[in-house]
């Protein structure tokens, strides 16, 4: 999912489209695509919109990525439009989840089976890391934050809560980007 306008991030990145914003030395979308391509998934498709023409052009140069153009009516509408063109179950990952790994993707797919799945992190984790929580909900009576990693399946929908710093870094605001850069600076990169 890489068709959003990124208006909350614009003050810090100017005219750079959100998926192309640099995190840790490379565009966020490249980090997500690398994780997807390293996973067990067989198809990688990117949902772009009229708001992200440079992202679409960038992804057109990446081997193994199919671009699906959506209307740009918002995340939920674009998600529905993209998934309608794919087979389910479909793993979806937001372009602004730059630290997602192939392991996360494979774990979500295995956990979901044929069901739909929303992967969340505890709200306390996002707060501790200094990351904004754009949306919160509850799971087992505790506040949680959706990560941007989901599975759209044919069965019932469930929510799982994983305590994982990497999944808490959903980049929506300039302070989120600064928080992930600080985390990357202080993390042993050989263990990533």
| Domain total in the chain | 1
CA angle 22, 25, 30 (to 5 degrees): 65
pLDDT top residue among 145 and 81: 145
In a domain, 43, yes or no: yes
Determine the structural domain holding residue 127 and report its residue range.
10-185
pTM: 0.88
Percent of the chain with pLDDT over 90: 65
Q: What is the pLDDT of residue 13?
A: 55
Output the domain CATH number for residue 21.
Answer: 3.90.550.10
**Closest C-alpha among 174, 140, 172, 183 to residue 5:** 172
**How buried is 134 (Cβ within 10 angstroms: 0-12 exposed, 13-18 middle, 19+ buried)?**
middle
Q: What is the pLDDT of residue 191?
A: 47
In a domain, 3, yes or no: no
CB-based contacts of 72, cutoff 8 Å, min separation 6? 3, 5, 49, 50, 51, 78
HSE-CB of 169 using CA atoms within 13 angstroms: 25
In a domain, 15, yes or no: yes
In a domain, 4, yes or no: no
In a domain, 192, yes or no: no
Q: What is the pLDDT of residue 3?
A: 58
> Range with the lowest mean pLDDT among 7-16, 86-95, 119-128?
7-16
CB-based contacts of 166, cutoff 8 Å, min separation 6? 99, 100, 101, 104
Averaged confidence pLDDT in the chain? 88
- What pairs with residue 81 in β-bridges? none
Confidence of residue 83 (pLDDT cuts 50, 70, 90): confident
> Range with the lowest mean pLDDT among 30-44, 108-122, 172-186?
172-186
pLDDT at residue 20 above 70? Answer: yes
CA angle 56, 57, 61 (to 5 degrees): 110
Tokens of 92: 């979806």
Confidence of residue 192 (pLDDT cuts 50, 70, 90): very low
Mean pLDDT, range 16-32, rounded to an integer: 92
pLDDT, tens only, 35-52: 999 999 999 999 998 888
Q: What is the pLDDT of residue 128?
A: 95
User: H or E element: which one contains 47?
Assistant: strand 44-48
């Amino acid at each position: 999912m890489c068709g959003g306008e990124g208006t909350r991030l614009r003050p810090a990145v100017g005219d750079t489209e959100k998926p192309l914003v640099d995190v840790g030395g490379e565009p966020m979308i490249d980090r997500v695509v690398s994780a997807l391509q390293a996973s067990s998934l067989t198809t990688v498709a990117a949902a772009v919109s009229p708001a992200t023409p440079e992202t679409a052009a960038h992804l057109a140069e990446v081997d193994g990525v199919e671009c699906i153009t959506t209307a740009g009516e918002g995340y939920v509408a674009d998600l529905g439009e993209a998934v309608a063109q794919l087979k389910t179950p479909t793993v979806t990952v937001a372009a602004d989840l730059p630290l997602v790994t192939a392991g996360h993707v494979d774990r979500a797919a295995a956990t979901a089976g044929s069901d739909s799945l929303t992967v969340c992190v505890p709200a306390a984790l996002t707060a501790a890391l200094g990351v904004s929580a754009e949306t919160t909900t509850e799971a087992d009576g505790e506040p949680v934050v959706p990560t941007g990693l989901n599975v759209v399946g044919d069965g019932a929908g469930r929510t799982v809560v994983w305590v994982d710093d990497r999944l808490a870094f959903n980049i929506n605001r300039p302070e989120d980007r600064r928080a992930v850069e600080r985390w990357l600076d202080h993390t042993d990169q050989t263990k990533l």
